Structure 1
C-alpha cells in the first residue's frame, strides 16, 4: 500500500506539502507495535487528548482531537464497538514505519494502519475494512463496470529528468491512433500516481476508465512523495516545484509519445490540481484544454477555515478545544494574508515563499483569459471544495464564456464517489469508485474537442 502521510480526516488541504523526513534514532518494530497498541487503546477509552499528543505537527493540525473524536465516532457507529486485536504487523514504506493492527469490531473486521516517522510520531492514520487493506492480485480487485482491461494496455514511463525524475504509468488504448490524451495532476499532499486515499484510487479509476474509451492517460508520482528528502532543503519552494514543473514535463512526455495526437493533449487537475490548472494552461497555450475536478476557486487559507468549521459543526461545535483549534487556524490564515516578499519561516507547514507565490494568484481571473476549452466538474456533497463557495464562483466568473462547460453531480463527494447525507471524512476510508457518469462525461468531452 502507498497511502503514506495522508490522514483519515483530510481537513487541512496544504498540511502535508512539506512533510520531509527528519532524522533521529528510530524505534524497533516491537516498540512501534507497543506504541500503536497504546494509541488504539486511547481511542477505545475516549482519551483523544492523549492520542493527539502522539501525533507529529502536521497530524495535529490536520486531525486535532475534536476531529479525531468525530472520526472515531463515525467508525464505531458503522463497525460497532471495538472488541479485540486479531493480528499486528510492521513494515517499512517510503522512509516510514507502518503498523497495521487487524481489529475485530462488533460488526466488522477493521485494519488500523498507523504510520510513524523517524521520531516515532504518528504521521498518518487510516481505518479501512480489513479485506480492502490486504494485498490482492490485480485480477481479484474490484473494478467498476466502465473499465474494460482488454481495451487498453499500460507501460511504465518516466516523467521529467534528474534530479526530479518521476516514475509514471501510461494507459494506452489499443487500436489505431493517434489518440487524445490526458495528464492527471494531483490534489494536495504527497500523492502517489493513483491518488490513493484509504482503499480508493481516484486516478487509477480515471486512467482505466478513460483508456477504456479511447483516451490515453498519463499519471505519475508526485514530487513531494518521490523526492521528499531533497525538497526539505530547497530554497524558495512554491507550487512551481510542488506541481507545475512536473505537470509541464508530463505534457511534454505525452506530446513526444508515438500514438498520441500531439495537438490533443489535455490536463485534468483534481482539487489542488484543479485550482492550479488555469495557471498551468496560461503558461502553455498549446494545451488542448483543461478539466477541473473540484477545483478550488478561493484562497487555500479560506478553504482550510471553512473545512474546519464544517467538521466542527458536524461534531457539535460547542467544544472549547474545537474553538481553540479554529482560532489557531484563523491566526495562521491571517499570517498568510499578511505575508510579505522576502519573509522566511513557515505558515501552515509550508514555507513563506509558498504563500507569497500564491498571493496574487486568482484561478477564476486566470481562467477568464484562457481561450482553450474548459470543463469544470463538481460533486454536490463535497465539503472541501463546495458548491456555494467554489462552483458558484467559477460560474459567476466564466458563465458567459462559450469555451467553458459546467457540470455538477448530486450525491458525489470530493473524490467524485457516491454517498448519502452530509459528507464526512470517514467515507473516504470505505472502498468505492469514481462515478461512471463522471468518467463518461470526461471521455465524451475530450473526444468532442477538435484538434487545435
Structure 2
C-alpha cells in the first residue's frame, strides 16, 4: 500500500516506522475474509446488508446506508467497471483492533480502502483514497525480476523492462529515486511515475531498470544501525552503481549504451554517480537541482505555507519555526567537524546526512563530465523550482555543448499535468494521472540519437 507524506517536512522523509505488525488470524476469525465480503457487498450495491452486519454501533450512529451508497457511488462513478479485489492485507494494532487494507480494482483506477475493525471484528472506520491509474502493460514490452547487489547486506529487488524483441540489443537506462523510502514504481500518492517512464521508454526502444530503494526495503534496519551513519552513498549512490553493474553482462543490452535517469534527489546526485561510473553514455536529470538540499526544503515549506491551507495564525507560527530551523541549519553547516553534528537534526533529517550532502557540489562536477546531459523541469513544479533550480542549471550549462535543457509548461514535480483544485499543493498528487507523453518521447529520442 502506498505511503503518505506528513504535511510539514513531508517531502524528504527517509525512514518509515511500522505501526502495525503482520499477524495470523486463523485462530480468532479472519478480518481479510470480512474485508473481502464488505467490498463485494459494496460493489453489488448491498449497502443495507453491509451496514447491518459488518459495521460497529459507533459507525451506525454517524452514518446511514444511503450515505454509504452515495459516498461509494461518487467515488467510483468515473473509474469504469468493477473488476474485483486486487490485493488485501490485514494487520493487528497494539490495542487489539485490526487494519485491513484492500486494493480495489476498476477498469480505469485501482484505489485503496482501509477498514479499521474492533476486537469484535466490526468496522469502526472506512477510508477510500483517490487511487492510481490502472495501466495495463503493453504487449510490445517484457518485464522480469532482477536482484541488485546480490550477496550484499542490502539486496534489492528490481524490474528490468525491455522491448519485446530479442533480435537486437538495446540501450538501457537506470532510474535513480528521489528522496524518501520509494518503491521501484516511484509510487507516491496516486502516481507511479517510474513505472510510466519504464513502460513508455521500453515501448520506444529503450530498456529501463528500476528497483526498490534501500530505505524502502531496509528502513527499519538502517534506523536500528543509527541514523547518523546514513550518507548519500548508503541511501542512493552505491545501489545506483550496483544497478549499472548488473547490466554489463546481459546479451540483450548494449553495454556501450547505458544511461542514468535521476529524479529529484536522484537528479541532484546523477552527476556524482556519473563521475564514478566509467562506462556511462549519458545522464538525464529530471527535477534535479544544483542547490543545497536544506535550501530546497526551506523553499518547499515556504511554498506550502503560501498555498492557503493554513490560517494566518498557523502560518505565522510555522513561519517562525522555519526561520529558526533555517538559522540553525546555517550555523550547523558552517561547522567544520562532522562529529559536532552527531545529535543534531536539520529540517527533521540527521545533520550528519545534511552535512554529507552539503559537501557535494553538483555545479562543480558537471564541468568534469564528458558525457551528454539532458536536464528536464516541470514549470509547475512547486518542490524543485524553475526559477531557482532550472534557471541555475541554465546558467551553469547554457554554453556546454554536451547539455540539453528543456522545461515543460503545466507539468509538476512528477512530470504530470494537473490544472484543478489544489493546484500547486500536495493535493494535486491525489488525482490519478500518468507521466506526460511528450516527456517520454523527448527522453527516448534523446537517448536513441
Q: TM-score, normalised by structure 2?
A: 0.73
Cα distance in 2 for residues equivalent to 1:261 and 1:338: 48
Counterpart position of 1:362: 361
Secondary structure, aligned partner of 2:129: strand
The Cα of 1:369 is off from its aligned counterpart by 2.2
In structure 2, the partner of 1:432 is: 433
Alpha-carbon separation, structure 1, partners of 2:189 and 2:99: 14
2-structure distance, mates of 1:381, 1:295? 14
Distance in 2 separating the partners of 1:299 and 1:113: 38
1:50-199 matches, cutoff 5 A: 91-92=89-90, 128-129=129-130, 132=132, 141-142=134-135, 149-161=138-150, 162-173=152-163, 174-199=165-190
The answer to whether residue 404 in structure 2 is matched with residue 405 in structure 1 is: yes
Deviations 1:201-259 (A, max 9, x none): 10100001111111111000000011112211335210100111100000001122221
Structure 1 residue matching 2:352: 3-state secondary structure: helix
> What is the SS of the residue equivalent to 2:224?
coil
User: Which of 183, 200, 203 matches 1:212?
Assistant: 203
Tell me: higher relative CO, structure 1 or 2? Use CA pairs within 8 A at least 6 residues apart. 1
How much has 1:10 moved relative to structure 2? Answer: 8.0
Which of 1 and 2 has greater Rg?
Answer: 2
**Cα offsets for 1:107-132 (capped at 9, x unmatched):** xx9866599xxxxxxxxxx96336x5
Q: Give, in angstroms, the shift of residue 359 of structure 1.
A: 1.8
- Aligned mate of 1:344, from 342, 345, 350: 342
Task: Specify whether residues 291 and 164 from structure 1 end up closer, same or farther in structure 2 by C-alpha distance, changes over 3 A only.
Answer: same
Q: CA deviation at 1:364?
A: 2.4
Aligned residues of 2:8 and 2:301 also touching (Cα < 8 A)? no
| Secondary structure class of the residue paired with 1:275 | helix
Distance in 2, Cα, partners of 1:323 & 1:315: 12
The aligned counterpart of 2:67 is none
CA contact (8 A) 2:89 2:102 kept: no
Judge which range, 17-26 or 275-284, deviates more. Answer: 17-26
**In the alignment, is residue 353 of structure 1 matched against residue 359 of structure 2?**
no
Task: Name the counterpart of 1:105.
Answer: none
1:6 corresponds in structure 2 to: 4
1:246-285 matches, within 5 Å, as 246-285=239-278
Contact persistence 2:190–2:432 (CA under 8 A): yes
Unaligned runs of 5+ in 2: 36-54, 63-73, 76-86, 104-109, 117-126
In structure 2, how many angstroms separate the alpha carbons of the residues matched to 1:416 and 1:388? Answer: 17
- Asked if structure 1 preserves the Cα contact closer than 8 Å seen for 2:189 and 2:430, the reply is yes
Question: Which digits, 9 at most, give the CA deviation of each residue in 1:82-140, with x for residues without a partner?
Answer: xxxxxxx98457999855599xxxxxx9866599xxxxxxxxxx96336x59xxxxxxx
Give the structure 1 partner of residue 120 of structure 2.
none
Cα RMSD after superposing both structures: 3.9
Q: Secondary structure at the match of 1:183?
A: strand
- Distance in 1 (alpha carbons) for counterparts of 2:272 and 2:93: 32
Partners of 2:19 and 2:93 within 8 A in 1:
no
Change (3 A) 1:289 1:93: farther
In the aligned structure 2, how far is the partner of 1:201 from the partner of 1:326?
32
SS at 2:139's partner residue?
Answer: helix
Alignment of 1:237-386 (within 5 A): 237-315=230-308, 319-339=312-332, 340=335, 341-342=338-339, 343-347=341-345, 348-386=347-385
**SS in structure 2 at match of 1:324:** helix
- Given that 1:263 and 1:288 are in contact with CA atoms closer than 8 Å, whether structure 2 keeps it comes out as yes
1:308-350 per-residue CA deviation (whole Å, 9 max, x = no partner) reads: 2212212166522222223223333333333331121241333
CA distance in structure 1 between the partners assigned to 2:101 and 2:20 by the alignment: 23
Q: Which residue of 2 aligns with 1:231?
A: 222
> 1:25 and 1:253 mapped to 2: Cα distance?
33
Count of aligned pairs: 373
TM-score (norm 1): 0.73
* Range with greater deviation from structure 2 (439-448 or 257-266): 257-266
Q: Is the 8 A contact 2:196 2:434 kept in 1?
A: yes
Is the CA contact (8 Å cut-off) linking 2:91 and 2:100 kept in structure 1? Answer: no
User: Contact 2:9 / 2:348 at 8 angstroms: preserved in 1?
Assistant: no
